[in-house]
Amino acid sequence: MTADIQEILVSEEELQSLCDKLAKQITDDYKKSDRKLVLICILKGSLMFTTELMKRIDIPLEIDFMKVSSYGTKTVSSGYINIHLDIKREDMEEVDFLIIEDIVDSGKTLSHLVRYLKERGAGSVRTCTLLDKPDRRAVDFDPDYCGKVIPDAFVVGFGLDFNEKYRNLPYVGILKPEVYGG
């Protein structure tokens, strides 16, 4: 697996400190809210990030899961968002939703999900991404919390995949373009 990595972009140590930083901001921002905090882990890419983040957040919270796709097997967004797994809740207006995403690219996935949850009556909706590639933005979208801004490269590891592979790498690395035919 490591032979397919061109360069380590975010080391294990840096990932830990990014999670510390984000969890502290989230704890400070939500501790006075009278709604319940629900983290929505966007499967599958945000699995590792969500677990690392949630254990550092020092206020009561619930987790929920959604599964969406826009990518298929390519490295370019189709722009069409499919919801494969949705949340089922009766208490939408009593909830502060914080959507946890691995990476923002075109911005289409998160801007769509924020709109969707607001339309369903959510008390509040914010977004937290580990990584952001603002150079690739196709819609007007800014995450509320961002671990690290990165250049326009295809990255894998710490949950992020290419064709379902590399999610188990403990760091985030740039995939060699020859692996995906780039």
Catalytic amino acids?
105
Q: Does 107 bind ligand IMP (CB under 6 A)?
A: yes
CA distance 76 to 19: 27
> Which element (helix H / strand E) includes 39?
strand 36-43
In the list ligand IMP, Mg ion, none, the entry touching 70 (Cβ below 5 to 8 angstroms by class) is: ligand IMP
In the list ligand IMP, Mg ion, none, the entry touching 96 (Cβ below 5 to 8 angstroms by class) is: none
Q: Which of 128, 155, 169, 171 binds ligand IMP (CB under 6 A)?
A: 155
Q: List residues near Mg ion by CB under 5 A.
A: 45
**Which residue, 5 or 131, is less far from Mg ion as judged by CB?**
131
CA distance 52 to 33: 23
Single out the residue of 170, 180, 42, 23 nearest to residue 100, CA to CA.
42
| Contacting range for ligand IMP; rule: CB under 6 A; set: 12-20, 29-37, 52-60, 97-105 | 97-105
Question: b or e along 80-106 (b: 16 or more beta carbons within 10 Å of the residue's beta carbon)?
Answer: ebeeeeebebeeeeebbbbbbbbbbbb
CB 84 → Mg ion: shortest distance, Å?
Answer: 12
Structure tokens at 49: 């990030």
Binding site for ligand IMP (CB under 6 A): 45, 70-71, 77, 101-109, 154-156, 160
